[in-house]
Structure formats: structure tokens, C-alpha cells
Structure 1
Amino acid sequence: MTGITEEPGPLTGQAPPPPVRDWPALDLDGTEFDPVLAGLMSEGPLTRIRLPFGEGWAWLATRYEDVKLVTNDPRFSRAEVTRRQVTRLAPNFAPRPGSLAWADQPAHNRLRRAVAGAFTVSAMKQLRPRAQEILDELVDGVVRDGPPVDLVERVLEPFPLTVVSEVMGVPPADRDRVHAWTRQIISTSGGTEAADRAKKGLYGWIGETVRARAVSPAEDVYTLLGAAVARGEITAEEAVGLAGPLQIGGEAVTHHSGQTLFLILTRPELTERMRARPEARGPVLDELLRYIPHRSTVGLARIALEDVELAGRRIRAGEPVYVSYLAANRDPDAFPDPDTIHPDRDPNPHLAFGNGPHHCTGAVLARLQTELLVGTLLDRLPGLRLAVPPEQVRWRHKTMIRGPRTLPVTW
């Protein structure tokens, strides 16, 4: 562990607080679990951390049951974070009104209703044929050109971004610049200025688009938002805050599916199982969702609104708290032998898409895309395998969401 900060001793009769640990955003290659997080987990279920930006320190909950409690307990507020400079990974901190990420109940439900219809199971079933068509066109080009190809460039980036753009209602002519903005927003390179420019560009474009869709007959998300604003259910500012994170969601699918395919293609037993039992691919993909370390450090904080006892310690009102879904998914009390991929793990109540009110809005869409990507590539590219040794695959650095930069394959 690095960067240990001791604080003055506790009051008489109280256990001393754990030391504050500096948690740098390590540039990790492959699917290695963050060694800093592993060390924090070994120290106890509730530790204290300091991230590269923001101010002060925050509690970190890593145990499965504690993570579920914090994320589903109204005593821990997301909205309160917007009034603070909490220690964080992102260089830029400019939360927008209307963002689901920063809303507490009942505002959260009011905002979520404006877009929920676009992400239901029924809506995803209707989307599936079009998503498959988009994917088939990309794979047709890969087959036509022959091996080797970089799957990230040819399929894993364009497919989720095209699908998300169609769900959201981004015109084809605008997709390249929208992608450039979303890619910069999830990057930690370029500093505050670059992130701020990207957010201003994206959110300005979203605002114009929502205003233009107020009377549109389409059924995309920007039209839903435009109509909700026109009915007075949400404000124009809230519509922009709602749409931004949904638009960025395509980036997460790109990086997660890259890690998924890397694991499948570097573990012969997984490759064989996925090919031999296509009807049973779902549980394997679910186990990889649990196993894959999809992000750097942690996501968004919460603030305790009152004193709360957790894991034998008292979190005082006003103190920030982070949870680690990655750690919860490796809790041996919830997942026996957690550091091993068990394709038949059952039950598998992983928290890869979050928990409680802030469970990922686009979870069903993300599952659909990953399922189509893996199944189509395995079915259409016989003998699919890496074209380079695993250690030569290049990985993304300076980013909040981990994944391969390139995935060279042959077949």
C-alpha cells in the first residue's frame, strides 16, 4: 500500500479509525484485479481512501452485504455530493441537474420515468433484430477483408456506439463528434480542461437536440425527453442531465466486451464451452460480468445524512462513502472461490450493474449487445483466436473504464 496517512487518535473508548490510503488510478493491463483494491479488501470491510482529485478522504465499503446496504439506504445521499468537493478519480467535477446519478428519491423516480420506456425488456426485444442487422453488416466487412483484424476498431467500437446512437436518436452525421466527446469524458488524460470542453460540447449538442424533438413523431430517447419537457414533467436542464450518461453508455459496452472476448480467447476451456454449448452462453457471460474488473478505482460517492453504524464502525453525518462493486463481486461470503471463473456459478447475484435505485438504466441494453457480440463473432468466425500473444494486446490507460485498445484476431 502507498500513501498512508495517520490521523490523531480517537476519543477514549472508540476504536481508532483505519488509516487513509492513497489510491492512485493504476494503468493496469489485462484483466488483473487492482492490487490496491485487493489490499484494501484484506484490511477490512470498511477502510478509508484518498483519490487523485477532490478534497479530503472517504470511507470505502467492499463487503457484498455492506455495499447492498449503502446503495439502497436513503441515509446515504448522492445529491449531497454535488455540494461538496469529495475526493474522486475524475479531474473534472460538474454534476448537472437532472442527472440520475446525482438524484435521490423521490426526484430519481420522476426523472427515470422520462426515459424508462426506451430501456424495457420489451423495447430491447423490438430492438434486437435491428441490432443484429447492424452487427452483421460490420462482421460482413470483417469476413470480406479476411484476417487478421482489430476487433476493437472494426466491431467492438462501432457496434455499441451505433446501437446506442439509434436508441438515443443521434443522426448519423453527428455520431463521430458525439463519440469523440464521450470518449474524452471517460478519459483521465487531458486534465480538467479537456474533460470540461468535451462535456460542454456534448451537453450543448444534447440541449439543442432535445429542443428540436419536442414535437417529433419518432420514439428515440431524445424525442421522449423533448416530449417530457413539453409536458412540464422535467425541465430542459434535467433532460440534458438525463441524456448525457445514457449517451456515454456505449463506451462501457465497448470496453467490457473487449475484456469478455479477451478472457474467452485466452482460456481454451471457455472458448470450447461457448462453441459447444451456444444455448448455455448466458451463464458464462453472467459470470464474466461478475469477474471482470471493468473500471478504475470506484464510481460515485454518497454522503451520510446522519450517523450510521456499518461494519462495526460509525460513519458520521456529512462523511463521504464509496462502495466498490468490483470488491463486492469478489466477496467470498457471497461468491465461493471468487477469484476463479466458474461458468456454472448458481446463484450469481453479482452487482456488475449496480444496486438499488441507481441500478444501471441501460443494463438490459448492455446485456443484449454483449450477447450478440460474443455469439455472432464465435459463430461467424470459425477458429477465432488472438493474432498475437496475450501479453502483446495493448490496453487503455488513463481511463475510468478498463478495456483493450486493440484486440488483434485471426480465424
Structure 2
Amino acid sequence: MTEETSTLTEQAPPPVRDWPALDLAGTAFDPVLAELMREGPLTRIRLPHGEGWAWLATRYEDVKLITNDPRFSRTEVTHRRVTRLAPNFAPRPGSLAWADQPDHNRLRKPVAGAFTVAAMKRLRPRAQRILDVLVDGLVHDGPPADLVERVLEPFPITVVSEVMGVPVEDRERVHAWTRQIISTSGGAEAADRAKKGMYGWITETVRARAGSTDEDVYALLGAAVGRGEISEEEAVGLAGPLQIGGEAVTHNCGQMLFLMLSRPELMARMREPQGRGAVIDELLRFIPHRTSVGLARIALEDVVLHGHRISAGDPVYVSYLAANHDPDVFPDPDRIDPDRAQRPHLAFGNGPHYCTGAVLARLQTELLVDTLLKRLPDLELAVPADQVVWRRKTMIRGPQTLPVTW
């Protein structure tokens, strides 16, 4: 990171702002985050759980720099009770989310082959068949229908289960665990029970797949443990967040389809296949993927940024949502503009912790949009947009139901 020169006068630290977990309907930008962005590029926040306060960076360039700077550590967070959104904090050894280099590359290597562009090309026909069966059922039963229940939930969960190697008979209970883990309802006890259930199942599965020569994630992890490249504990920590990935696709695609179905001009653009990619990228930039912020980092040494001293040991959050709405990078950021000059959005993160499943998520998003527009060209909302029910008490935002007709 480029530090400001030490000759600059240090500023007094900004006030600590409480940031509650708001239940926001629709795709509205978080008003607390908007206020924090107006206060300055570097502010301080207190979240509902954990202890103390943390710095928050909201500018696009600052977010990119911090997420690439080894002076800000994810691993150090595992030893602290940092202020956070999640009610339950139990980081596991092996989780890519908490790994710094060079451990991050070592841990990512065993599963990287399952998420390459080549692997996704091989997966595409199978994913298309899964989706076609779901849409066939939708068409057969006729309108109206809940698109979340019939397609947006089962499709990503099934595809992720295929990539991971989850047996068909176990998929429903694994999904129940992942759904509870991303929820903030039920408190720490419910989240802890779900994590214990899921990680216990993952442990058994990795052991059972140790001798497999298959190419799914659990087989790759079992083989890597057998070769001594990672420990069993690390394999389990690796698998958990990957297993949860289907939840994000469900709700992000739900937001995108809600916007398409409630804005005729956007749907008209989506009906032009040659320009569809630019529209999807702009929607990925625009939609509020999550509630609040994700995972923190700890400063390993003093860093001066925008006249503020981030001291060694201070927790630091970045907001990808804010970065994607930085007006210096995306003029008029609250407007959906597929024709804007393309700057890479940060919807899938940045730096070493760029989303492992980004290519898989993009594949599923494109298949969902392409297939639904082809099979149901007159798809529309079955209720007024303001009557769509949105998920509450969750870390990943999205519609709870999406009633449609055609």
C-alpha cells in the first residue's frame, strides 16, 4: 500500500459508528453504509457481535490495496474477538478465508482444479441438464410459481453438490445446515449446531473419499490428505465455505431477476443476447450481495492512510459493496448503466481471497438467465414489485420468494 508521507499531520480518529444488521427489502443500498461513505474514505464501526471497533475502508482503490497488502492479516483475526456481524465465530484451520500467504496457496492448490475455466466447460452440459429438468417441471405445472422455490434454490444447490461430491441422499440436510449458517436468526446456538452438524458430516465424507480417484472436491481433498499435502482438519476447513457457496448464487440471482422483472428497460436489454454479458456485470456491480461487511483483517504494523494511523493490532474491514459504488470509479453509481465504461467490479472480491467459486457462480448465473429468457420469454412478476417478500436476518441478501407468471 502507498502510505501517505509522515510529514502530513495525523488526523484525530473518526467517531465509532454503530452498524446494526438492518433487514432491508429490495435492492436498496444500506443507508448506514451510505452515510459512512459520505463521512470519509476511512471510518470506524461497531457491529452487533464481538468486541471493540474496527476501521472500515470504502474507496475502490483503498479496498484493492488493503486486500492485496500482506501487512493486513486474516489469520490474526482467528486469535481475536473482533467486532462482527455473525453471531457465532468459530474459524477452522484450513479455511481459505482465514489463511495468509504462503499457506493460502498451499491450501487452495488441492481444490483449484475443480473450479478452473476448463472444469466449468466440462460441467456446463451437466448443469444445463439439471436446470432443464427444473424448468420442465415449472412449465408443466404452469403459472403462477415461486421462482426461488422451483429453480433459484434447487439449481445452485444441486450444481454445488455435484461439484463437491455430495451424495443425493445427503443433499437436503447439508442444505439445511448451510442455510442456517448464513442466517443471523436463532443466535449463536443455532449457528453452532449447524456448523457442528455440517463439519462432522464433512469429516466423515473426506475420510470416506480418501481412496477415490474421482474429480469432485471431496475426492480431491481426501486424496490430498492421503498424500500428506494437507491435514484432515485443513481439508474440512477448506470444504465448508465452498459447500456454502450455492446459497450466494441463489440470492444474488434472485436479486438480479427481481431487477430484470421490475424494470422493463432492463429486461429489454437482457433480451439482446450479444449484450447480455455487460448487463450481468453491471448487475453484479450494483446489487447488494450481502448485509454489512464480510471478514476482517488485522494490521500487522502501523499504516497511515488518508491521514489516519491504523495501528498494529487494529482490525480493518473493507466494503466491496461500497467500492462498487465509489462515484470516482463508477459515476452515478446508484444507476444501473450497462453502457458505462467498464471498470472491474469487486463483486467476487480481490487479491488472494478472490472467490474460489467465481467462475462457477458466473456459469450458473449465465445459464439461469439464458434458459429462463429462452423458455419463458414472457416471464413477469405475479405480484407488484413492492409485495415481493425479502429474506430477513441473513448475511446474504435476496428475495425469500419471487412469484412469477408467464
Q: TM-score, with normalisation over the residues of structure 1?
A: 0.96
Residue 57 of structure 1, aligned match among 49, 53, 58: 53
Whether 2:378 is the aligned partner of 1:383: answer yes
Aligned-partner residue type, residue 231 of structure 2? T
Other-structure match for 2:266: 270
Partner letter of residue 55 of structure 2? W
Counting only pairs closer than 5 Å after superposition, residues 1-400 of structure 1 correspond to structure 2 as 14-275=10-271, 277-400=272-395
Q: Which secondary structure does the structure 2 equivalent of 1:163 belong to?
A: helix
Which piece of structure 1 moves more, 278-287 or 388-397? 278-287
Aligned to 1:3: none
- Spell out, residue by residue over 1:83-104, the C-alpha distance to the aligned partner (whole angstroms, 9 max, x if none): 0000000000000000000000
The whole-number CA distance in structure 2 between the counterparts of 1:75 and 1:255 is: 33
Task: Report the AA paired with residue 288 of structure 1.
Answer: L
- Per-residue deviation at 1:311? 2.2
Deviation at 1:342, TM superposition (A): 0.7
How far did residue 310 of structure 1 move?
1.4
Partner amino acid for 2:348? F
What are the Cα deviations for residues 178-209 of structure 1, in whole angstroms up to 9, with x where unaligned? 00000000000000000000000000000100
Q: CA deviation at 1:218?
A: 1.5
Distance of 1:302 and 1:238 partners within structure 2 = 20
Cα shift at 1:273: 1.4
Give the distance between the partners of 1:248 and 1:104, measured in 2 at CA.
Answer: 21
Q: CA deviation at 1:337?
A: 1.5
CA distance in 2, matches of 1:102, 1:273: 40
Q: Secondary structure at the match of 1:48?
A: strand
User: Aligned Cα RMSD in Å?
Assistant: 0.7
Structure 1 segments unaligned to the other structure (5+ residues): 1-12
| Matched position secondary structure for 1:300 | coil
Cα deviation for residue 16 of structure 1 reads 1.6
Q: Which moved more, 1:323-332 or 1:340-349?
A: 340-349
The one-letter code matched in structure 2 to 1:330 is: H
CA contact (8 A) 1:66 1:311 kept: no
SS in 2 for 1:21: strand
Write the distance in 1 (CA, Å) between the matches of 2:327 and 2:388.
Answer: 30
1:14 deviates by 4.1
For residues 49 and 336 of structure 2, the distance between their equivalents in structure 1, rounded to whole angstroms, comes to 34
Contact 2:10/2:309 (CA < 8 Å) preserved in 1? no
User: 8 Å contact 1:298–1:322 — kept in the other structure?
Assistant: yes
Q: Which moved more, 1:152-161 or 1:13-22?
A: 13-22
Tell me the amino acid that sits aligned with residue 253 of structure 2.
S
Measured against aligned partners, the alpha-carbon deviations of 1:302-343 in whole angstroms (never above 9, x if no partner) come to: 000000111221100000000000000000111112111111
Paired residue type of 1:197: R
Give the secondary-structure state (helix, strand or coil) at the position aligned to 1:52: coil
Identity %: 81
- Give 1:389's aligned amino acid: P
Provide Cα deviations, 1:108-143, integer angstroms capped at 9, x if missing partner. Answer: 000000100000000000000000000000000000
Aligned residues of 2:12 and 2:308 also touching (Cα < 8 A) = no
For the 8 Å contact 1:287–1:348, the answer to whether it is kept is: no
2:297 and 2:382 map into 1 onto residues whose CA distance is: 44
Question: For residues 327 and 100 of structure 1, what CA distance do their matches in structure 2 show?
Answer: 23
- C-alpha distance in 1 between matches for 2:213 and 2:241: 24
What residue is the counterpart of 2:3 in the other structure?
none
For the residue of structure 2 that corresponds to 1:367, the secondary structure is: helix
- Secondary structure in structure 2 of the residue aligned to 1:281: helix
Contact 2:146 2:402 in 1 (8 A): yes
Q: How far apart in 2 are the matches of 1:298 and 1:199?
A: 21
Q: Distance in 2 between matches of 1:95 and 1:374?
A: 35
- One-letter amino acid of the structure 1 residue matched with residue 35 of structure 2: G
Give the secondary structure class of the aligned counterpart of 1:409.
strand
Return structure 1 stretches of 4+ with deviation > 6 angstroms.
Answer: none
Asked whether the equivalents of residues 63 and 319 of structure 2 are also in contact (C-alpha less than 8 Å), the reply is yes
Secondary structure, aligned partner of 1:25: coil
